[in-house]
Structure formats: C-alpha cells, structure tokens
Amino acid sequence: MKLNSESKDGQLYRPIKLLCILSLLGFIYCISNDASHWAFFNHTEDLKNNQEAYESMEDLKSNWKNQGLEFNDVIRQKLVKFYLVRAIIDVLALLGVALINFRLKKGFIIYSVFQLSYIVSPFFLLDEYSTIVVPITTSIIHLVYIFLFYTQYKKLN
C-alpha cells in the first residue's frame, strides 16, 4: 500500500508539501505586514487609538525620513497604493501555492509571476524611494523560494 505522499513511480512529494507550508506562513506574514502598512498610511488618524502600533509605524516613518524619504501627501498616496497592490499580489501568489500543493504546473507559473511582480512592484510604484521602503536584500527571499519551487517542477503535473 502506497503512502499519500508517494507518486506512482515512488517519488516523494514531501518537499513540495514543506515548501507550500513555508510559503503559506510567509504569505500570512506578508499579507499582515502589507495590510497593516496600508491601514497606517490610509487611516493614520484612526490608528492613534492603538498606541503601540502607532508608535511602531511612526518609528518606521522616522527611519525612512532619515534615509531621505520626505513625507508629503503624494508620497503617502503612493505608499497606500503600493501596500494595497502588494497585499493583492500576496493573495494571488497564494493561489499559485495552492495549485502547486495539488501538483499543478500552472500553479508554479502563477506563483512565479506574482512573486516576480512582488519584487518589481516597488520600482514601478515608488520610483526613487523603492530601495528605501523595500531594501533589495528582502527580495532575495522571494527569488530563493521561486528557485526552491523550480527544483520540484518536474514533480508537478
């Protein structure tokens, strides 16, 4: 009797399952991070009631100011749009992970497209402030996950 994690030819699908679980955890973090940033920049006055969250976001804003990001209404609107777009990209990339979990190659393509769009979105939406808001080193994580899923591509249908 074959285990559920084995294919007809006996190859284990455990790496795909583990990658999907790790991606799910990463997306939960990214969605909560992007949504909280969106809420802060879109509803700054409403968040003053939550002192801890407000202070945390003000520290982030202060850090960005020290790096040369001058806040004004135009920048604030760009950040609102940027974090909303990234939250949507997170959900769509999560769809790709779900399809990969069912061993579909289309899932890998969807996942890769939206992970790459997640990486390049700061450059299109934030212009010269992209590397201040999203350091390039954080993009490496997304590229590593694309590569790790690619190593399992042959096991997908």
60 is a domain residue: yes
Q: Are 105 and 156 in contact (CB under 8 A)?
A: yes
9, 30, 103, 108, 136 from 154: Cα distances, Å: 13, 28, 10, 11, 30
User: Which one, of 46, 122, 45, lies nearest residue 82 by Cα?
Assistant: 122
61 is a domain residue: yes
6 is a domain residue: no
Domain limits for position 73: 14-155
22 is a domain residue: yes
pLDDT digits (tens, 9 = 90+) for 110-140: 989 999 999 999 999 998 888 888 888 888 8
pLDDT digits (tens, 9 = 90+) for 34-93: 988 898 888 877 777 777 777 888 888 888 888 888 888 888 899 999 999 999 999 998
Max Cα–Cα distance, the chain, nearest Å? 65
Look at the chain and report how many structural domains it folds into. Answer: 1
